Chains A and B, each alone.
Chain A
Amino acid sequence: MPTAFSNQLGWHIFFSLKRIGIGLGISLITGLLLGWLMGTFPFWNKLLDPLIYLTYPIPKLALLPLLMLFLGLGEGSKIALIITIILPQMILSIRDAIISIPETYYQVYLCMGANSFERFKQITWPAIFFGIISTLRVSLGIAFSVLFFAENYGTEYGMGYFIMDAWLRMDYPMMYAGILILSLVGLILFGCLDYLLKKKTPEINYDNKQAQR
């Protein structure tokens, strides 16, 4: 049995990761831009935050037919579905991370004569890095579960399709094998995020926290 799907499995994983990767990438860039605007300029916050609060509770799956109508049954609507689901929480977490940066950090640098790029590089970015990884983690988890809807139509590749297909064929060992493999892929990705976080935030002591709590 393992040989039966091993040659195809690589492609299933590849397509799923590609969709998740593009979806997360676009969301992260948009989230950073909008979150930064909203966290930095009260005008943008006042303008955009009612909009986000208003659209956040809409069940995004209900939008799927619309996305299919406008973007077709191909990759476009699949990636768009992932984005509409994870983008709002990304914007909000990045905005909140920016808002909570102490003012004095910036004041010292302003007085030194730092320009806005230097202030972003030395203060804003390192200050929100933890929040970014954290929101990426949440988004990654959600994106995985969205796959089952996104890869349910118009494709024959993707872990979502693989599992669903096995299910429909009542090939339960294959279905659970698919789920297990998906979990393993998730484990590796989450592990990578954690590794990146630890590597980039050496000032945080991750191992010695419980003692005081």
Chain B
Amino acid sequence: MLFMTIQNKPILSFEKVSVHLSGKCVLDHVTENFSEHQVYTILGPSGTGKTTLLKVLAGFIQPNQGSIYWQQAEYRPRDLKIGYVPQDYGLLPWQTVRKAVQESLTVGQRKKRLTLADQKKVATCLEDVFLTEVRDAYPKQLSGGQKQRVALARAFMLESDLLLMDEPFSALDAFTRREMQQLFQTMWHKSKPLTFFITHDIEEALILGDEVLVFKGSPGQVITREKGLRKSYRTEEELFTLQQSVDYFQRVNDLREELKGY
């Protein structure tokens, strides 16, 4: 667990970052390093500042103390491209599926006009997330899983430096959720952005993360970081076998214990 952070040079570092909201300390002296091309999943009881951490990274909240560095320089979120997937997806009711995904190119990548190659890229992306048929539909006409896929497609189309996801799959049923996890994996591999992924699902955190961060306490702190299983399987069968192992059960149970007591 430790050697991983030494092996990869950190691209993002927190140094004693504290956040107070309405006079209440929400994050307390967070000091952590994060490496490029990694997925960090975040677990923790409600109210421990997980969303707050994401908002700090997104630049919506300024830390009251401490500093954040990006490539050894001061962290300036507005200079980065950040894919942000809020819990409610944040889709605009007046944008069709295709328009929403295109916006990542026109707004995010400052393209005045979409070239033929760009249009093809959008089409391929929609194909990848199985939205080709509903590409002209508005959010209201989509199912929960479809909306989630639009949000994913939009975020990955951006080819962002940083991807922030706040419990993205928590509103989906178990089956759809597993599909989305797979989709997330395939899409992620195309641009490999540094990703922070909050979840309440222990297994999801283990399966999707290179590392699992556990938040605890009020004010919140990162109490442990442990290796996730993202690289330990390639196919669904391998994952299935992995999930049958005693070791896997043990880890899920340990994490569950850890999350229990405040």
Residues of A participating in the B interface, judged by any CB pair closer than 8 Å: 102, 104-105, 107-114, 118, 122-123, 126-127, 201-203, 205
A110 near B90 with CB under 8 A, answer no
Partner of B81, one of A104, A112, A123: A112
A113 near B107 with CB under 8 A, answer yes
| Cα distance, A127 to B92, chains bound together (Å) | 9
Cβ of B111 < 8 Å from any Cβ of A?
no
A110 near B81 with CB under 8 A, answer no
A104 near B90 with CB under 8 A, answer yes
A111 near B82 with CB under 8 A, answer yes
**Which residues of chain B are within 8 angstroms of A122 by Cβ–Cβ distance?**
92, 95, 103, 107
Cβ of B47 < 8 Å from any Cβ of A?
no
Most chain A CB inside 10 Å of its own CB: which residue of B85, B92, B104: B92
Residue of A nearest to B82 (CB): A111
Most chain B CB inside 10 Å of its own CB: which residue of A108, A126, A202: A108
Residue of B nearest to A205 (CB): B140
A111 near B164 with CB under 8 A, answer yes
| Cα distance, A110 to B61, chains bound together (Å) | 13
| Cα distance, A203 to B141, chains bound together (Å) | 9
| Cα distance, A105 to B84, chains bound together (Å) | 11
B122-148 at interface with A (beta carbon < 8 Å)? 138-140
B51-73 at interface with A (beta carbon < 8 Å)? 58-60
**Which residues of chain B are within 8 angstroms of A203 by Cβ–Cβ distance?**
93-94, 138-140
Cβ of B45 < 8 Å from any Cβ of A?
no
Known contacts A108-B85, A112-B107, A126-B94, then 16 further A-B pairs from the complex at CB < 8 Å, ordered by chain A residue? A102-B88, A105-B92, A107-B84, A109-B107, A111-B58, A111-B59, A112-B82, A112-B158, A113-B80, A113-B82, A122-B92, A202-B138, A203-B93, A203-B94, A203-B138, A205-B140
Sorting the interface of chain B by its residue count into under 10, 10 to 19, 20 to 34 or 35 or more gives 20 to 34
A108 near B94 with CB under 8 A, answer no
Least CB distance from B140 to A in Å reads 7
| Cα distance, A111 to B107, chains bound together (Å) | 11
Cβ of B217 < 8 Å from any Cβ of A?
no
B107 near A107 with CB under 8 A, answer no
| Cα distance, A102 to B82, chains bound together (Å) | 19
| Cα distance, A102 to B90, chains bound together (Å) | 8
Cβ of B83 < 8 Å from any Cβ of A?
yes
Least CB distance from B104 to A in Å reads 7
A104 near B107 with CB under 8 A, answer no
Partner of A111, one of B83, B95, B110, B139: B83
B92 near A113 with CB under 8 A, answer no
A107 near B94 with CB under 8 A, answer no
Least CB distance from B248 to A in Å reads 34
| Cα distance, A118 to B110, chains bound together (Å) | 11
B90 near A112 with CB under 8 A, answer no
Least CB distance from A170 to B in Å reads 54
Given known pairs A123-B92, A126-B94, A203-B93, the reply for A108 and B86 (CB within 8 Å) is yes
Partner of B103, one of A102, A111, A112: A112
**Which residues of chain A are within 8 angstroms of B108 by Cβ–Cβ distance?**
112-114
Least CB distance from A2 to B in Å reads 46
| Cα distance, A183 to B220, chains bound together (Å) | 65
| Cα distance, A122 to B59, chains bound together (Å) | 21
Cβ of B231 < 8 Å from any Cβ of A?
no
| Cα distance, A105 to B88, chains bound together (Å) | 10
**Which residues of chain A are within 8 angstroms of B113 by Cβ–Cβ distance?**
none
**Which residues of chain B are within 8 angstroms of A123 by Cβ–Cβ distance?**
92
A113 near B60 with CB under 8 A, answer no
| Cα distance, A168 to B94, chains bound together (Å) | 52
| Cα distance, A93 to B149, chains bound together (Å) | 35
Partner of A104, one of B86, B138, B160: B86
A107 near B58 with CB under 8 A, answer yes
**Which residues of chain B are within 8 angstroms of A110 by Cβ–Cβ distance?**
58-60, 78
Residue of A nearest to B84 (CB): A111
**Which residues of chain A are within 8 angstroms of B90 by Cβ–Cβ distance?**
102, 104-105, 107-108
Residue of B nearest to A118 (CB): B107
Residue of A nearest to B86 (CB): A104
Q: Shortest 5 CB-CB distances between A and B: which pairs?
A: A111-B82, A104-B90, A111-B84, A203-B138, A112-B108
**Which residues of chain A are within 8 angstroms of B139 by Cβ–Cβ distance?**
203
B103 near A107 with CB under 8 A, answer no
| Cα distance, A118 to B83, chains bound together (Å) | 17
Most chain A CB inside 10 Å of its own CB: which residue of B80, B83, B93, B110: B93
